[in-house]
Amino acid sequence: MLKFNLPGDTHFVTTKTFANYPFFKAINCCDLFLQNLNFYRNKYELKIYGYCLMPDHVHLLLNFDLKKFPELTISNVMHGIKGRSAQSISTYLLSSSETGNRSFYASAGIQSRQGIKALSTRDCLKIWQTSFYDFNIYTHKKLREKLNYIHKNPTKAKLVDDISQYKFCSWRNYNLDDHSIFKIDIINI
C-alpha cells in the first residue's frame, strides 16, 4: 500500500500484532509500547491526537512536522515505533518466560513456553506484522470520525461495557481529563 507524506496531514495508523496474538492483554506490554511511543514522540516531536491499544492491534492518530524533519516519513516513524517496542516487549516476555511468570502468560493468552517459542525466531519474538494501515486525514470532519472510531473500538469488541472502564485509550484524556496513562495532544473535536 502506498504511504503518502503530505505536509500537515495527520495519519490514522492501524498496526496489528504478529498472527493477531493478544500481546496487549498484558498491562506490562501496553506500558512498554506506550513508553516506546513516547520516546518517538520526543525524538520526532510527534503530535499524538489519539490512540487505542487493543489486544491484537493498535490505533494511532499522529502528526509530524516535515519542515523540521524533511526526510521523515510515516513508514520511518512506524518502523521505529514498532522496532523499538518489539525489542522491549520481546525482552520482557522472554525474561518472564525464563523466570516462569505463568500469570503473565495467562493474561496475554500464552499457554506455555512453547507458545512463546512458536512466536520467536533466534530468541527474539515476532511482535508485529510487517505492514501497517495508514490513512491521511486532511479535514477536521475526518479527524473527528477517526477519533470516534478509535474510542468506540473497545466497546465494539466487547472488551468493556462502558468505555470509561478501558485503560489504554485516549477517550480517557478527552472525556475524563485523565492523562495519567499517556499524555496526548488534545484537539478540539
Angle between helices 74-98 and 27-44 (to 10 degrees): 150
What predicted TM-score, i.e. pTM, was given to this entire model? 0.86
pLDDT of 106 = 56
Please check whether residue 169 is in contact with residue 24, taking contact to mean a CB–CB distance below 8 angstroms. no
Please check whether residue 61 is in contact with residue 11, taking contact to mean a CB–CB distance below 8 angstroms. yes
**Which spans in the chain are helix H?**
27-44, 74-98, 102-108, 113-118, 140-156, 171-176
* Closest C-alpha to 52, from 33, 39, 36, 65: 33
Cell numbers found for residue 140:
477536521
pLDDT of 102 = 53
The residues with which 16 forms a beta bridge, in sequence order, are 57
Domain 10-176 in CATH 2.60.40.10: no
Query: From first to last of its 189 residues, what are the pLDDT tens digits of the chain?
Result: 444 555 568 999 999 999 999 999 999 999 999 999 999 999 999 999 999 999 999 999 999 998 899 999 999 999 999 999 999 999 888 886 544 455 555 555 555 555 555 555 555 689 999 999 999 998 999 999 999 999 999 999 999 999 999 999 999 999 999 999 999 999 987
At position 149, the amino acid (one-letter code) is: Y
pLDDT of 95 = 81
Residue 20 DSSP label: G
* Locus of grid cell 505463568: 102
> Where are the chain's structural domains?
10-176
Cell numbers found for residue 43:
525524538
Measured in degrees and rounded to the nearest 5, phi and psi for residue 70 equal -65, -25
pLDDT of 3 = 44
